Amino acid sequence: MTEMRTESDSLGEVQVPADKLWGAQTQRSLEHFSIGKDLMPREMITAYATLKKGAAAANHKGGRLPDQQFGLITTVCDEILGGQHHDMFPLHVWMTGSGTQFNMNVNEVISNRCCQIAGNPLGSKTPVHPNDHVNMSQSSNDSFPSAMHIAVGVNATSRLIPAVTGLRDAISAKAEEWKDIVKIGRTHMQDATPLTLGQEWSGYAGMLTDDLERIDDAL
């Protein structure tokens, strides 16, 4: 049988697997909203870690977050950004509200890992509290959409734009290679004006160039 520990929140006590970094609210979500097989993507995990690290820095600069809590939160966020603890985010994409449960999953994991580093028991919320410190000056209504924007921006820059650029350049190369191959155009299910295969494919390349500009404008 899995060893359990007792965590508590405003709704009361909850039994949580003793070796897990999440807390009461994450466990409640697992018990009531384990719908389907689609878990929160890794991109959102790292985006939220970026956001929590930035929020901690802002609160520390503003004199609201003490040095110890700021240092611990920053350390744990860096661990998450480095690929650690991703198995501590077990929630499904289907949940209630504005992403509150996932926001709390992040808060609880960071808090418990901070407690662990400080030599305190999981669930002690000392020296880092999931709400009072990790979630300081934040609301799920703001942090979840912000994390989505971070995830989209980072992955559009690092993955989407390079992939589309590579496809555009490959198509452009084929357009040049096929510039002397003449073919019959087609329109309304009948033959139309002749053109080269290169001209046709240059249109595809042009379309992707326009798409890249639109992606850049959106960022």
- pLDDT digits 0-9 by tens, 65-107: 999 999 999 999 999 999 999 999 999 998 877 899 999 999 9
pLDDT at 95 (0 to 100): 84
- 212 token code pair: 């890249």
Kindly state the tokens that stand for 219.
């960022």
**For tokens 């994409």, what's the residue?**
93
SS3 of 20-65:
CCCCHHHHHHHHHCCCCCCECCHHHHHHHHHHHHHHHHHHHHCCCC
Write down the pLDDT at residue 189.
Answer: 83
Confidence check: pLDDT of 51 > 90:
yes
Closest CA to 55 of 131, 114, 132, 136: 136
* Closest alpha carbon to 147 in 105, 88, 111, 113: 105
Tens digits of per-residue pLDDT, 135-192? Answer: 999 999 999 999 999 999 999 999 999 999 999 999 999 999 999 999 998 888 888 8
Which CATH superfamily is 4-138 part of? Fumarase/aspartase (N-terminal domain) (1.10.275.10)
What secondary structure does DSSP assign to 151-199, as a single string?
HHHHHIIIIIHHHHHHHHHHHHHHHHHTTT-EEEEEETTEEEEEEEHHH
How many whole angstroms separate alpha carbon 107 and alpha carbon 102?
A: 9
The domain limits of the chain are 4-138, 154-218
pLDDT in tens, 25-42: 999 999 998 888 999 999
